[in-house]
Chains A and B, each alone.
Chain A
Amino acid sequence: MRAGAGIAAGLVLLAALSLAIGATNLWSGPLDSGMVLAVSRIPRTLAAMLAGAGLALAGVVVQQSVQNRLVEPGLTGTPEAAMLGLLAVTLLAPGAPLLAKMGVAALTALLGTAGFFALSRHVPRRDPMLLPLVGLIYAGILGSIALGAAWATDLVQYLWSWQSGEFSGVLRGRYELLWLVAGMALLLYLLADRITLLGLGEDYARSLGLNYRQTLLMGLGIVALTTAVIVVSVGAMPFVGLVVPNLVSRWRGDNLRRNLPLVAAAGAGFVLAADVLGRLLRWPYEIPAAMVFAVFGAGLFLWLLNRPRVRHEG
């Protein structure tokens, strides 16, 4: 609980910082500070936290489903498949409402993730590095199909906006879909035990009375919808789903009923921190949060990989 309180306090501090900084000075700037907060800063802060929590949770689900800690949604073709869906809607029904685009993206994301999962069953388990490499290639193939299609139809700029996650464009009225992530998080919490059971492998999960296929489908559905919402709203952010669940797992283990809130909070904190840092480093210009996180997250992950695990007892 002390850890939970610490993380909560850290999140509040980060959120306050995120609300306070930006191109406009809240206290002496020319604009009405209430309006700046309501239209830009609060949505942006919430968006970063929701996206971070969603990516981290999606990472846990993917890792438990394939029983490999080195996989994350960015290595299962999920965002690329979502982008393919988005491209298709943009081309075929440009006037479709955002929710419909979202739905199509979620559906193609699910298909893409399921494709990776089907592939993963043929990858030998002995070397844990093999599966992420297969994922990298799979995501690369889907990504280049998307790029090819976008290039042929002059939509490359759209693709770019979905590829690099950042929050500078977040305004009131343009991020609310991200609240779906909160709904997914609650649903996931109800499934926490089942997702932990998935991590024991198919044989154990089934002999402990779990409807394996159904649970897997629900889990992958949550991953697909969460990732699609994030890609549509703020763009893809690699590494978050890899680094955050690994940090939490090393620290507190894999009992998801206990740890999912921690994973969500840590994901929210890290992405918000990346966004804040991205706003400060070249003030008043910005560096995309995904890029900041990729640099720091990758470093953190490499350091983690080479560090013996401190075991949590209790």
Chain B
Amino acid sequence: MIEVESLSLHRAGLPVLADVSLRLPNGGVTAIIGPNGAGKSTLLHCLAGLIAPQSGRVRVEGVDIHRVREAERALLLSLLTQNPGAVPRLSVRDLVGFGRWPHHRGRPGPTDHALVEAALERFDLLPLAGREVEALSGGQRQRVFVAMAFAQATPWMLLDEPLSALDPKFARDIMERLRDVATAGPGVVLVLHDLSVAARYADRCICMKQGKILAAGAWQSTVTSDLLTRLYDTPMRLAEVDGQPVVLSA
């Protein structure tokens, strides 16, 4: 369970997060949505323990995430950040292998190797395992970083816009695997811009606007055309095409 208690953060005098509180039960896919500058990414980084809030706290599985050492935190949360800066010259297997680093701290055992192979298989990376990450396409790269987070085998995976700049096919690939992952084990929390993707895959939503939570809860019962319209300040419509939910800007 992730418990957030009145989280506040100001930057240059402006509130980025204003008294944010929420609870997320384990498992499932939770989408953080909202307009640009709503504080989605900041909230995710606060959950990950990478940005310290000015007040409030985040507890993951009962542990105050801003008061534990990195080594301990890395056993609770894994993270995918927006466009990793420099792409390392590592093989796919080596990079995914670093997902196990918090567990073995430099001395991988048989379990670590097995879990790396399992992560590679789960994200269809076995055929690419010996290739260098640098040599892959954007979509494949993103899958490698997601697989690294998955190999970390934490109760929570946090992903900041995992689909940015991905073609629909790659986006779908990643989302379907994440949904499979989330039904079996870790909770997946991600920042999403594509609302139709969110509508299709998310079990829960956190709707953010101007640093506050406008609404949060099960996607089905929370998200309506009216809510989306208020959230984005532009007419939005939740519809259905061939039994799949889609979100249109009306």
Contacts and interface: CB of A to CB of B under 8 A. Distances in A.
A199 B79 contact: no
Interface string B208-240: 000000000000000000000000000000000
B114 interface: no
B132 interface: yes
A255 B99 contact: no
B50 A68 contact: no
B66 interface: no
B86 A199 contact: yes
Which of the four size classes fits the interface of chain A? 20 to 34
Contacts of B78: 207
Contact of B132 (A193, A203, A212, A253): A253
B71 to A, nearest CB: 5
A104 B14 CA distance: 44
A157 B104 CA distance: 52
B91 interface: yes
Given A249-B89, A311-B132, A206 B70 contact: yes
B112 to A, nearest CB: 13
B38 to A, nearest CB: 20
Interface string B80-118: 010011101111001000110110011000000000000
Contacts of A255: 90-91, 94
A304 to B, nearest CB: 14
A261 B107 CA distance: 19
- Residue of A69, A193, A200, A206 most packed against chain B (CB within 10 A): A200
A68 B73 CA distance: 28
B243 to A, nearest CB: 37
B102 A193 contact: no
B98 A207 contact: no
B135 A311 contact: yes
A207 B74 contact: yes
Contacts of B106: 193
B188 to A, nearest CB: 15
A201 to B, nearest CB: 5
B169 interface: no
Contact of B91 (A201, A204, A253): A253
B126 interface: no
Contact of B71 (A199, A211, A250): A211
A68 B98 CA distance: 20
A208 B98 contact: yes
Contacts, number: 85
A161 interface: no
B86 A201 contact: yes
B191 to A, nearest CB: 14
A312 B98 contact: no
A197 B102 CA distance: 11
B84 A204 contact: yes
Contacts of A200: 84, 88, 98
A207 B98 CA distance: 11
Contact of B50 (A197, A206, A211): A206
A199 B81 CA distance: 14
A154 interface: no
Given A253-B132, A255-B90, A314-B130, A204 B81 contact: yes
- Residue of B73, B85, B105, B135 most packed against chain A (CB within 10 A): B85
B152 interface: yes
A313 to B, nearest CB: 6
B70 A212 contact: yes
B90 A204 contact: no
Nearest to A202: B50
Contacts of A197: 98, 101
B48 interface: yes
A129 to B, nearest CB: 14
Contacts of A211: 69-71
Contacts of B88: 196, 199-200, 254
B102 A208 contact: yes
A25 B69 CA distance: 62
Nearest to B85: A201
A32 B45 CA distance: 69
Contacts of B98: 193, 196-197, 200, 208
Contact of A209 (B73, B90, B94): B73
Interface in B39-61: 45, 48-50
B77 interface: yes
Contacts of A311: 132, 134-135
Contacts of B77: 207
20 contacts: A193-B101, A196-B88, A196-B90, A196-B98, A197-B101, A200-B88, A204-B81, A206-B50, A207-B50, A207-B77, A207-B79, A209-B73, A209-B74, A211-B70, A249-B89, A253-B94, A254-B88, A311-B134, A312-B132, A313-B131
Interface of A: 67-69, 125, 193, 196-197, 199-201, 203-204, 206-212, 249-250, 253-255, 311-314
Interface of B: 45, 48-50, 69-75, 77-79, 81, 84-86, 88-91, 94, 98-99, 101-102, 105-106, 130-132, 134-135, 152
Closest 6 CB pairs of A and B: A209-B74, A209-B102, A207-B79, A253-B89, A254-B89, A67-B86
